[in-house]
């Protein structure tokens, strides 16, 4: 459980992003390119006042923009995706819940419009992403402290910048932190067409790792398989194919995976476990099936398999801001080298948020919805 001081900082940050408090907590000198005497600016934001069905509780509202203090930064949001964690947060079943009313969205990219007199690391025109979740990115503009931001190159694709702070970070850390994998080793994952799944495929390929990618069967399975293979996937199989006895012959031509990445749970996670090499690890980072992970006693005893969990927000708490910035720069380097691209995306204007929310919750949706401002 968080101590009171940490909880206060989370709530204060949430108020900053909602425009309910000046980000610095005091009135500082006028910001660069910003008139402190001007009428309060108004911004459009997607706000929810209570938890529930996102299509019913999220509303497009006008909010006042907080004044810019000496250590604050005013930004214009450029693009912000709708992630499963955003939906879960609005529904009220996520590990981190902001104080209500809150602006939706945990991820996105913004352009600096103005900076306070004490800000030294940012300037107007820079691109930035949130340093932490729960800050509310589904809005046209925001004011917050410099420490709440991480600068990213403004010459990378907009969709890559907008989707950089969550899924690729999760993918990279899971590939690096649980097993000491070497080039030629294999990794198996389910939900392979998700944002994290697509990032896993590309980062693994950049590291010389071979991937077995499990997806649900669907009418356009060949189209999906071709797209994932174009990202670097070596094998794409369906959940049904994973359960067949013939899978035992699959590993005659490649090593059994020492790492499994589970975002589904239920039967799918049980099948992933069955494919792991002795001593391997399955990391769970999501539960799309809303069913528990079931591991047979024999697999745990005779194969000594390990079950672990991963949550990026907890990783950030356990590591310094500089370590997270280093992770972001590592991923930006992969983007610049053409080894990491954004997931398949559909850009939707902010005012059309209802259709974007509905699309993001449909089954078999392979295109991530990105709100543009």
Q: Looking at 34, 94, 172, 285, which residue is catalytic? A: 94
Please determine, for residue 33, whether its predicted confidence score (pLDDT) is greater than 90.
no
Q: Quick one: pLDDT at residue 272?
A: 97
Q: Break the chain into its structural domains and give their ranges.
A: 43-163+343-372, 167-313
Note the pLDDT tens digit of each residue in 149-189. Answer: 999 999 999 999 999 999 999 999 999 999 999 999 999 99
Note the pLDDT tens digit of each residue in 183-211. Answer: 999 999 999 999 999 999 999 999 999 99
CATH class of 43-163+343-372: alpha beta
User: Which CATH number applies to 167-313: 2.170.190.11, 3.30.70.100, 3.30.310.10, 3.40.50.720?
Assistant: 3.40.50.720
Residue 53 backbone phi and psi in degrees, to 5: -65, 120
Q: Quick one: pLDDT at residue 249?
A: 87
Q: Quick one: pLDDT at residue 362?
A: 87
User: Per-residue confidence at 57, pLDDT binned at 50, 70, 90?
Assistant: very high
- 34 classed as catalytic: no
Q: What is the pTM of this model?
A: 0.88
Would you tell me the crossing angle of helices 321-336 and 195-206 to the nearest 10 degrees? 70
How far is it, in rounded angstroms, from Cα 136 to Cα 25? 18
Q: Rounded mean pLDDT of 55-65?
A: 96
Please determine, for residue 22, whether its predicted confidence score (pLDDT) is greater than 70.
no
Q: Quick one: pLDDT at residue 6?
A: 37
Integer-rounded Cα Rg, in Å, for the chain is: 21
């Amino acid at each position: 459980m968080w101590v009171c001081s940490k909880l206060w900082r989370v709530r204060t940050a949430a108020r900053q992003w909602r425009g309910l408090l000046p980000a610095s907590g005091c009135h500082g000198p006028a910001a660069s390119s910003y008139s402190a005497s001007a009428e309060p600016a108004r911004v459009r934001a997607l706000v929810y006042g209570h938890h529930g069905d996102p299509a019913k509780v999220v509303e497009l509202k006008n909010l006042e923009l907080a004044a810019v203090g000496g250590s604050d930064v005013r930004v214009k949001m450029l693009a912000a995706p709708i992630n499963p964690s955003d939906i879960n947060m609005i529904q009220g079943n996520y590990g981190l819940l902001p104080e209500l009313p809150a602006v939706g969205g945990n991820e996105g990219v913004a352009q600096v419009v103005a900076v306070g007199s004490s800000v030294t690391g940012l300037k107007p025109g820079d691109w930035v992403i949130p340093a932490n979740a729960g800050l509310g990115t589904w809005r046209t503009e925001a004011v917050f402290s410099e420490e709440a931001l991480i600068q990213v190159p403004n010459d990378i694709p907009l969709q890559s910048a907008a989707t950089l702070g969550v899924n690729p970070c999760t993918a990279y850390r899971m590939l690096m932190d649980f097993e000491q994998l070497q080039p030629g080793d294999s990794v198996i994952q389910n939900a392979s067409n998700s944002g994290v799944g697509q990032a896993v495929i590309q980062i693994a390929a950049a590291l010389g790792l071979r991937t077995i990618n499990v997806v649900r069967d669907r009418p356009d399975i060949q189209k999906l398989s071709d797209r994932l293979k174009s990202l670097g996937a070596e094998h794409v199989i369906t959940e049904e194919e994973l359960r067949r006895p013939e899978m035992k012959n699959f590993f005659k031509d490649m090593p059994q995976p020492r790492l499994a990445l589970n975002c589904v749970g239920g039967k799918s996670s049980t099948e992933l476990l069955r494919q792991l090499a002795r001593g391997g690890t399955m990391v769970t980072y999501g539960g799309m099936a809303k069913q528990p992970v079931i591991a047979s006693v024999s697999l745990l005893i005779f194969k000594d398999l390990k079950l672990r969990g991963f949550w990026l927000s907890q990783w950030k708490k356990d590591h310094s801001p500089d370590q997270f910035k280093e992770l972001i720069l590592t991923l930006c380097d992969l983007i610049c080298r053409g080894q990491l691209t954004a997931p398949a995306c559909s850009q939707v204007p902010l005012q059309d948020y209802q259709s974007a929310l509905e699309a993001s919750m449909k089954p078999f949706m392979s295109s991530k919805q990105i709100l543009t401002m």
